[in-house]
A = this chain, B = another copy of it.
């Protein structure tokens, strides 16, 4: 695990200013070849400009991959099977994309004979951890270059000067003129920095990009029926869709109805609190609806065990441990729990609200109207059983109370 010489580097390349500067800085600093990798994760940007720019900068090996289906199928959906939510609020939109990028980078390393990877994440954030833990797990001797932790180009001004000096085309890529640091993929768009650094300040309306405000959303509710198979959505209003299609359509529906905005202070893995704003229109619908289909089809104790393990599973993803044995172990349990999570959920979308208004499962409902009813159940349930149930559950406390324990 010692320091190696670097001959060829696979760079996670967005085509923006930062990673273009990094591209040049890598060649200058290490005298190495660079392979660029740009992923389409549904961030909603043209990727061909990235290709053009890389070509213009003399790159020979350029990878531009559409990973949208893999992203949703193998990362987003498995995560939602666990009703995953970090710190009670955050749907992990950025966190869940990083392990896929790490995996693809390492594949490219293996295909092209690189000896190092490079990314543009800063030394203060979570993304560096996510990229690097993934890379190390998948290729333990990989050399990782994180320019933001190394170089002197620590301000925007020095970056711009460096770009000018090296004829790197500048187009204010980062945030496209926005004061915010942003990240987007099919699951969400995130905002950090700018006035968000004051946690008392309300985000300005024009910051949000993926959703209308609840105020601006239609006055008429939209009803949608989501079809589930083994915990994943496979259809919307009866139309069978691929995973990425599902999420894209839910984003459209959610965004149009003002759904999925979030404004939080969160705890980064590297130890500080940070303020972030997120838009996750489709994911917000998915979380709510998944809980609803589970409420009908999942055993109580299985559901409760999932709930108790969820915060840890969420932290694993947030902290970058997607490619770890403990995440894999938890995933096996989570996936196993979803075998009977089949059926339909009907949701109402209205001005920021996602309301579940119906759930059914022809094959796997555990809801038994005959037993639950307040009406005559024709002997399906013997109410007298409850007496013994309560008495034995109370026994340890009765014994303790008789021995003098005070519970109030």
Contact = CB atoms under 8 A, between A and B. Distances in A.
Interface stretch (A45-53, A57-65, A148-156, A230-238): A148-156
A44 interface: no
Contacts of A148: 383
Given A89-B295, A123-B386, 6 more contacts: A122-B383, A132-B390, A199-B365, A270-B395, A299-B326, A325-B407
Contacts of A393: 129, 133, 271, 389
B124 A374 contact: yes
Nearest to A386: B123
Contacts of A193: 373-375
Contact of A374 (B192, B323, B332): B192
Contact of A356 (B1, B2, B132, B263): B263
A352 B198 CA distance: 26
A399 B272 contact: yes
A291 B138 contact: no
The bracket for how many chain A residues form the interface is 35 or more
Nearest to A372: B274
Contacts of A369: 197-198
A56 interface: no
A87 B307 contact: yes
A263 to B, nearest CB: 6
Interface in A79-131: 83, 87-89, 103, 122-124, 128-129
A265 to B, nearest CB: 4
A86 B354 CA distance: 19
A78 interface: no
A219 B392 CA distance: 47
A323 B353 CA distance: 36
B374 A385 contact: no
Nearest to A146: B387
Interface stretch (A161-169, A242-250, A308-316): A308-316
A2 to B, nearest CB: 4
A183 interface: no
A371 interface: yes
Interface string A172-203: 00000000010000000000110001111111
Interface in A329-360: 329-330, 332-333, 336-337, 340, 346, 348, 350-353, 355-360
A299 to B, nearest CB: 4
User: Which of A88, A146, A379, A389 gathers most chain B CB within 10 Å?
Assistant: A389
A305 B332 contact: no
Nearest to A389: B392
Contact of A305 (B219, B326, B391): B326
A285 interface: no
Interface in A3-23: none
Given A266-B295, A388-B387, A312 B308 contact: yes
Contacts of A2: 379-380, 382
Given A265-B296, A384-B149, A364 B198 contact: no
A215 interface: yes
A202 B357 contact: yes
Nearest to A323: B407
Contact of A199 (B296, B373, B407): B296
Contacts of A241: none
A149 B384 CA distance: 5
Contacts of A386: 123-124, 128-129, 146, 149, 270, 388, 392
B336 A332 contact: yes
Contacts of A124: 371-372, 374, 377, 381, 383, 386
A170 interface: no
